[in-house]
Structure 1
Amino acid sequence: MSSPASGVFKASSPPDDAVELGRIQDAWGIKGWVRILPHSADTSALLASYEWFLQPPEARFARGFSAFAGCVAINVLEVKAHSEGLVAQLDGVSDRNSAEALKGVRIYLPRSAFPATPEGEYYWVDLLGLDVVNREGVHLGVVRDLVATGPTSVLVLEYTDTVDGAEQIAERMIPFVAAYIDDVDKAQRRITADWQTDY
């Protein structure tokens, strides 16, 4: 199996603010394009960047992977939306075999390279790990995930609950819509919500 052209991958250290945004799912067509599986429905950062940082697949998916080692940077010649994901043409990846050699590769971008968002809109990665409190100051949990449910997203919170005297980790879900979210303070890493613990 052929690998991407020599010298295309530039050895690099991952940016300090690197965020994993997706992975290469497979080859697309016969001219070296790859199909991208984004981690989020918001693909604006991937669409706007002309350079991606790549890392080999996770160990469980890396059997036989030999395209490169460590972190590398590669130029993106073209990227566009297709079906439920993206397709991209990467510099030096010019045939299907070369594209297939990248299956499972993880794609990173520096957070500083993300396009600015309009007022009141946020990247999912900026919400992960934020504490959520209600209007009375009661801690509701920490954002661990966001789930898309049609036109809206839902915050998935993790918190500690006490059941029969024993502590256990529980989940709470809050729609991420203006009716329930009062404020997102990224500097204080806190979200204030109109929500009660018994909802």
Structure 2
Amino acid sequence: MAARDDARLLIGKIVGLFGVDGWVKLESYAEPRERIFKYRPWFVGGADGAGEIEFESAQGRVQGKGIVARLPGIEDRDAAAALIGAEIRILRSALPKPRRGEFYWTDLEGLAVVNTQGIAFGKVSHLFATGANDVLVARDEKGRERMIPFVSGQFVQQVDIEGGKIVVDWDAEF
């Protein structure tokens, strides 16, 4: 169940206009947010990939409390307005290889989750960040969700991406 290098990952969204020369405001999911400009190419389109356009380069910068970008061929405000709401995706292969013990959330989604007693909790639905730690959400076939703090060594005992499984120290009744 190795990561697919050709998978497209959501990294941002076009949320508004900036000026009259085709610049757009972005919401970036990269950390730090301006890292979005380091990834190439961008695939810009709808949530389902509809109307997707590939951009090999983009100008961008921090602007006040946000970030803005200008895409090749988008030369005026009207052309930019047509992109509002579009998602920005990159190829999985554009990301640097994670260090030992680190994981991209996208690589964990879909893995089976079992506790140390061998009880199946379903599959990783998604993860989310909190102020203290990330949280893994395991959903079983009946729709029951368990939210497990993603704390290695304490709650997350083993992550086997190749084997498609995460072992957690978590009570099945919780």
Q: Using structure 1 for the length normalisation, give the TM-score.
A: 0.70
Cα deviation, residue 173, structure 1: 0.2
Does the CA contact (< 8 Å) of 1:48 and 1:115 recur in 2? no
For the residues of structure 1 that align with 2:64 and 2:107, how far apart are their CA atoms?
26
Native 8 Å contact 1:31 1:96 kept in 2:
yes
> What CA distance in whole angstroms lies between the structure 2 residues aligned with 1:184 and 1:106?
30
**1:176 counterpart = 2:157:** no
Structure 2 equivalent of residue 189 of structure 1:
164
Which residue in 2 is equivalent to 1:17? Answer: 7
Q: Which moved more, 1:90-99 or 1:186-195?
A: 90-99
Aligned partner of 2:8: which letter?
Answer: A
The whole-number CA distance in structure 2 between the counterparts of 1:118 and 1:195 is 26
Q: Note if contact 1:76-1:89 (Cα within 8 Å) is conserved in structure 2.
A: no
2-structure distance, mates of 1:22, 1:93: 18
1:75-120 CA-to-partner distances (Å, cap 9, x unmatched) read 3333456678643222232433332221112222111111222222
Distance 1:29 1:153, change over 3 A: farther
Q: Is the 8 A contact 1:38 1:85 kept in 2?
A: no
- How well do the aligned residues superpose, as a CA RMSD in angstroms? 2.9
Aligned residue number for residue 153 of structure 1: 134
Higher strand share: 1
Secondary structure of residue in 2 paired with 1:76 = coil
Matched, 1:52 2:52: no
Distance 1:198 1:177 in 2: 19
Tell which deviates more after alignment, 102-111 or 74-83: 74-83
Is 1:91 the counterpart of 2:91? The answer is no
* TM-score after normalising by structure 2: 0.79
What is residue 120 of structure 2 aligned with on the other side? 139
Equivalent position SS for 1:112: helix
Q: Which moved more, 1:89-98 or 1:109-118?
A: 89-98
SS in 2 for 1:169: coil
Q: Tell me the distance in 2 between the aligned counterparts of 1:33 and 1:172.
A: 42
Cα–Cα, structure 1 residues 159 and 58, in superposed 2: closer, same or farther, change >3 Å?
A: closer
Unaligned runs of 5+ in 1: 1-14, 60-68, 161-167
State the SS of the aligned residue for 2:58: strand
Runs of 5+ consecutive residues of structure 2 not aligned to the other structure: none
What SS does structure 1 have at the residue aligned with 2:93?
helix
Q: How many residues align?
A: 169
Residues 74, 147 of structure 1: alpha-carbon distance in 2 compared, 3 angstrom cutoff: same
Distance 1:42 1:121, change over 3 A: farther
Kindly provide the amino acid, as one letter, of the partner of residue 186 in structure 1: I
The alignment partner of 2:99 has SS state of: coil
Counting aligned pairs with the same residue, the percent is: 36
Regions of 4+ moved over 6 Å: 82-85
